[in-house]
């Protein structure tokens, strides 16, 4: 009889220890799940940024004479730019009734490039992405093979390449900063 009396309450302690272990396991799983969700979001933003920048690179290749106008449109803050007495927006130079962008005889090369830049910037903003082109080309390139550097950022990261700005995407030499949420792509 004595053995039965000394083991009273042991089952309750075992249940409490088991619940404590289960709670720790559930918390660990929750932390792992949050990390997986964050990694998925980062991957989605990188995919969106890459898609936008590839479209911009193709627009520059299709209209290489208008690269400076394209760059000015992407890097500017305005939703419309006046070129050759015409106000250009992302919806300018539209020929068909469906509203799809199409070149017309009335648009110059710079007007088309500006429209393409504004359209790309608008699409990026709709996807919570900031885009820009490095003003003087990619670091370390110049001459005939000068490459253009697209920079896309999201969150608190800016599209700048700066050694001093803490929230810049990369340093002036093009190396990413720790914790930056951005993507850099060369195009030529």
- Stretch (H or E) spanning 185: strand 182-187
Number of domains in the chain: 1
**Would strands 86-88 and 81-83 be described as parallel, antiparallel, or unpaired?**
antiparallel
Q: How many angstroms separate the CA atoms of 116 and 89, rounded?
A: 9
Note whether residue 152 is domain-resident. Answer: yes
**Would strands 168-170 and 158-161 be described as parallel, antiparallel, or unpaired?**
parallel
Note whether residue 168 is domain-resident. Answer: yes
Note whether residue 19 is domain-resident. Answer: no
pLDDT tens-digit readout, 128-148: 999 999 887 778 776 666 688
Cα–chain-centroid distance for residue 72? Answer: 19
pLDDT tier for residue 7 given thresholds of 50, 70 and 90: low
Task: Kindly write down the DSSP assignment for every residue of 28-47, as one continuous string.
Answer: HHHHHHHHHHHHHHHHHHHH
Tell me the Ramachandran region of residue 177: left when phi exceeds 0, alpha when psi lies from -120 to 50, beta otherwise: beta
pLDDT tens-digit readout, 29-72: 999 999 999 889 989 999 999 999 999 999 998 988 888 999 99
Note whether residue 68 is domain-resident. Answer: yes
pLDDT exceeds 90 at position 157: yes
Domain that holds residue 98: 49-187
Note whether residue 32 is domain-resident. Answer: no
Q: How many angstroms separate the CA atoms of 57 and 185, rounded?
A: 9
Note whether residue 72 is domain-resident. Answer: yes
Note whether residue 149 is domain-resident. Answer: yes
């Amino acid at each position: 009889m004595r053995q039965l009396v000394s083991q009273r309450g042991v089952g309750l302690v075992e249940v409490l220890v088991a619940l404590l272990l289960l709670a720790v396991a559930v918390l660990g799983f929750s932390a792992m799940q949050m990390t997986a969700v964050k990694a998925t979001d980062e991957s989605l933003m990188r995919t969106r940024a890459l898609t936008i920048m590839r479209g911009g690179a193709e627009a520059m290749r299709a209209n290489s004479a208008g690269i400076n106008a394209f760059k000015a449109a992407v890097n500017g803050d305005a939703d419309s730019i006046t070129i050759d007495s015409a106000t250009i927006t992302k919806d300018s130079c539209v020929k068909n009734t469906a509203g799809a962008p199409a070149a017309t005889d009335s648009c110059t090369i710079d007007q088309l490039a500006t429209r393409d830049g504004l359209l790309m910037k608008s699409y990026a903003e709709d996807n919570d992405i900031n885009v820009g082109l490095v003003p003087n080309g990619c670091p370390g390139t110049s001459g005939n093979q000068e490459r253009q550097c697209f920079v896309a950022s999201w969150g608190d990261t800016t599209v700048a390449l700066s050694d001093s700005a803490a929230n810049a995407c990369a340093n002036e030499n093009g190396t990413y900063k720790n914790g930056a949420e951005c993507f850099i792509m060369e195009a030529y």
